[in-house]
Amino acid sequence: MEMKKRKELELFAAQIRLETTKQIATRGFGHLPGSLSVVDVLSILYGDVMRYDPKNPQWEDRDILVMSKGHAGPAVYSTLAMKGFFPMDELKTLNQPGTNLPSHCDRNKTPGVDMTTGSLGQGVSTAIGMTLGNKLAGRDSYTYLFVGDGECDEGQVWEGMLFAAQQKLDHLVVFVDYNKKQLDGYVKDVIGLDDLSQKFSAFGFHTEEIDGHAIEAIANAIAKAKETKGKPTCIVLNTIKGKGLPEVEEMDLNHHIQIDTELAARSIAVLEAEVERLKGEL
Amino acid sequence: MFKVIYDGSAEKKAHKNVFADAIARLAAEDPSVIYLDADLMNSAGTYSFWQKNPEQALNCGISEANMIGVAAGLSAVGRKPYCHTFGPFASRRCFDQVFLSVGYAKNSVRIFGSDPGVTAAFNGGTHMPFEDMALMRSIPAAAVFDLADGVQFDWLLTAVKDRPGVTYMRSTRKNYKTIYEAGSTFEIGKGNVLTDGKDLTIIACGLMVGEAMEAAQILGQEGISVRVIDMFCVKPLDKELVWKAAAETGAIVTAENHNVIGGLGDAVAAALLEKTGVPFAKHGVQDQFGQVGPVDYLQEQYGLTAKALVETCRQVLARK
């Protein structure tokens, strides 16, 4: 990847992190850590890879994003707002009464959200249905599906994977946000997932396992996915829950956190500094 | 327009063949129709349709939750899915998926939950849905149907092809009593008065429509004039017809192959209380689990017979 492009995407990711933190800080609580861990992939998808039209979110031939770990909604909203799907000043309405930006992704409320999710495991099947429907219609669209690692406890995830492989859905790209933590603690202490790549390979997927925060590695993995025919792809992302905010990364149980005004101020300062640094490098 | 031709005889055509033929016809007429099953195509009579039409039939394996989600996703990109599995697996098993991925997300999926109530027969208690209507009724904007015979089932399968949201249909895969003449048409949201009367109304659905007709005949021989309503559309309920029956006959009994909790009986009771307080009883499964057995034995066990229904009618009449 060209250096300039990479830096632009790193900047975009930092901006997504900043806007996501600001949204959640406005409410004082939220699924911040699990939103932060998916940001770099969102940056590449919406900054470089996906085919979409912010003026026509329902465009039939668009590529599709399903955030099956629906609680990462805020990260999706930051991304969509910055790409013009809706006005930036709506971001501060996250989880407010009557909002179009609920905590979990809702296709009937937010322009640019392709599927309603939140009950873990369900987004998997719907993403597969959309991929299959597009394939049967002869469209070339890709579906990018995010699942959480804890989410992989749900049997429905594996029902979906079996089916996706059976249907040879090579336009399905699954990202697993393997941040090693779930609500009740470390994944290994709740339901251990061990070698996820191996599991997905066993289910008939082409797999990649990468640093989920390294822009070039992500880009290369997506490129390989698109070259793969006859099999869906799973990209296991080794990530950090809370990535970008060291204070948040270090919290033990950090699925859903409180953010008081001091923590908010410190976090926003860290991210604003990062944005400035990256702008300077461009 | 419908014509009632009930004479106590059984239907000739099994409902699974009604379903299979309807699916084949609808798929041929409308390429957006797509049929999904969870490893029960041989049970639904649709196995050969699947073999011949792989582009319009998907076997999802024993994964009902995934099947419903896949159907929801297909709906989101312009397809019209019809899903089948046994009643409990179409409702209890994947209720959250039906509720959220279909209902809440505003996708559109038609779900056939087969072998309702006692018609699950030798598959026994684990396969016996006495609560599927209760579950599906609680989904906002869902439509819930309990089909009285194959003619009505055939009509409904076509009528709901473009219906948005959750559409739930329960029917045997075998045969009920003949109720309607071939070619009869109906209206969603409207109940059907099968036979008029002025002393009491039995509001029935599905399997119990035939039983209600028989109960009406038994009581008729004693000079008691019974109105029978086929309320095949349990949601949205034809409240006007219920109020009319209460006003004109003064006593109501509901009859369903379903738990008395949450089904037709509760729907009618709630409607009645909005307007009036006539003597009322619900006839159905008295909050019990299912068990194995032949259908006629199970009907006896759970009181789903004309004879038992007559007793309930007598009790209600005594309160007039």
Q: Which of A178-187, A199-208, B6-15 has the lowest mean pLDDT?
A: A178-187
* Banded model confidence at residue B22, pLDDT cuts 50, 70, 90: very high
* Banded model confidence at residue B204, pLDDT cuts 50, 70, 90: very high
CB B65 to CB A108 under 8 A? no
The pLDDT tens digits for A187-229 are 998 889 999 999 999 999 999 999 999 999 999 999 999 999 9
User: How far is A217 from chain B, CA to nearest CA, in Å?
Assistant: 30
Cα of A33 vs its chain's centroid, Å:
12
Among partner residues A118, A129, A162, which is closest to B69 by beta-carbon distance?
A: A129
* Banded model confidence at residue A36, pLDDT cuts 50, 70, 90: very high
Is A107's Cβ below 8 Å from some Cβ in B? yes
Is A33's Cβ below 8 Å from some Cβ in B? no
**Mean pLDDT across A173-197:** 93
Per the DSSP assignment, residues forming a β-bridge with A176 are A147, A236
Among partner residues A118, A121, A126, which is closest to B73 by beta-carbon distance?
A: A126
**Mean pLDDT across B262-284:** 92
Per-residue model confidence (pLDDT) at position A41: 98
* Banded model confidence at residue A127, pLDDT cuts 50, 70, 90: very high
Is A204's Cβ below 8 Å from some Cβ in B? no
Q: What percent of chain B has pLDDT over 90?
A: 88
Question: Considering only CB atoms, which chain B residues are within 8 Å of A127?
Answer: 73
Q: What are phi and psi of B180, to 5 degrees?
A: -115, 150
Q: Residue A89 above 90 pLDDT?
A: yes
Q: What are phi and psi of B306, to 5 degrees?
A: -60, -40
Rounding to the nearest 10 degrees, give the CA dihedral for residues B70, B76, B80, B85: 20
CB proximity under 8 Å: B 239-298 to A:
none
Q: From A261, A270, A201, A264, select the one nearest A234 (Cα to Cα).
A: A201
Query: Which amino acid, residue A110?
Result: T
Is B76's Cβ below 8 Å from some Cβ in A? yes
Per-residue model confidence (pLDDT) at position B278: 87
Per-residue model confidence (pLDDT) at position A76: 98
Tell me, what DSSP letter sits at residue A86? S
Tell me, what DSSP letter sits at residue A169? -
CB A115 to CB B105 under 8 A? yes
Per-residue model confidence (pLDDT) at position B258: 98
User: How far is A42 from chain B, CA to nearest CA, in Å?
Assistant: 21
User: How far is B61 from chain A, CA to nearest CA, in Å?
Assistant: 8
Q: Which residue of B has its CA nearest to A122?
A: B69
**Mean pLDDT across B32-52:** 93
Q: Residue B292 above 80 pLDDT?
A: no
Rounded to a whole number, what is the largest CA-CA distance in chain B?
A: 59
**Mean pLDDT across A234-263:** 95
Q: Tell me, what's the ipTM?
A: 0.73
Is B47's Cβ below 8 Å from some Cβ in A? no
Report whether A157 contacts B65 (CB < 8 A).
Answer: no
CB A116 to CB B78 under 8 A? no
Is B32's Cβ below 8 Å from some Cβ in A? no
Is B72's Cβ below 8 Å from some Cβ in A? yes
User: How far is A3 from chain B, CA to nearest CA, in Å?
Assistant: 37
DSSP B150-164: HHHHHHHHHHTTT--
Per-residue model confidence (pLDDT) at position B276: 83
> CA of A126: how far to CAs of A182, B69, B101, in Å?
23, 5, 8
* Banded model confidence at residue A83, pLDDT cuts 50, 70, 90: very high
The pLDDT tens digits for A151-162 are 998 899 999 999
* Banded model confidence at residue B293, pLDDT cuts 50, 70, 90: confident
Report whether A122 contacts A155 (CB < 8 A).
Answer: no
Is B71's Cβ below 8 Å from some Cβ in A? yes
Among partner residues B65, B76, B78, which is closest to A156 by beta-carbon distance?
A: B65
Q: Residue B277 above 90 pLDDT?
A: no
CB A129 to CB B100 under 8 A? no
The pLDDT tens digits for B217-260 are 999 999 999 999 999 999 999 999 999 999 999 999 999 999 99
Is A133's Cβ below 8 Å from some Cβ in B? yes
Question: Considering only CB atoms, which chain B residues are within 8 Å of A60?
Answer: 77-78
Is B60's Cβ below 8 Å from some Cβ in A? yes
Left (φ > 0), alpha (ψ -120 to 50) or beta: where does B52 sit? alpha
Best to test chain B binding among A108, A122, A136 (most B CBs inside 10 Å): A122
Matching residue, tokens 């071939």: B182
Among partner residues A127, A137, A156, which is closest to B73 by beta-carbon distance?
A: A127
Is A245's Cβ below 8 Å from some Cβ in B? no
Report whether B50 contacts B59 (CB < 8 A).
Answer: yes
Per-residue model confidence (pLDDT) at position A252: 87
Best to test chain A binding among B77, B95, B98, B100 (most A CBs inside 10 Å): B77
Question: Considering only CB atoms, which chain B residues are within 8 Å of A121?
Answer: 65
CB A163 to CB B70 under 8 A? yes
Q: Rounded to whole angstroms, how far apart are CA atoms B36 and B38?
A: 7
Q: What percent of chain B has pLDDT over 70?
A: 100
User: How far is B130 from chain A, CA to nearest CA, in Å?
Assistant: 25
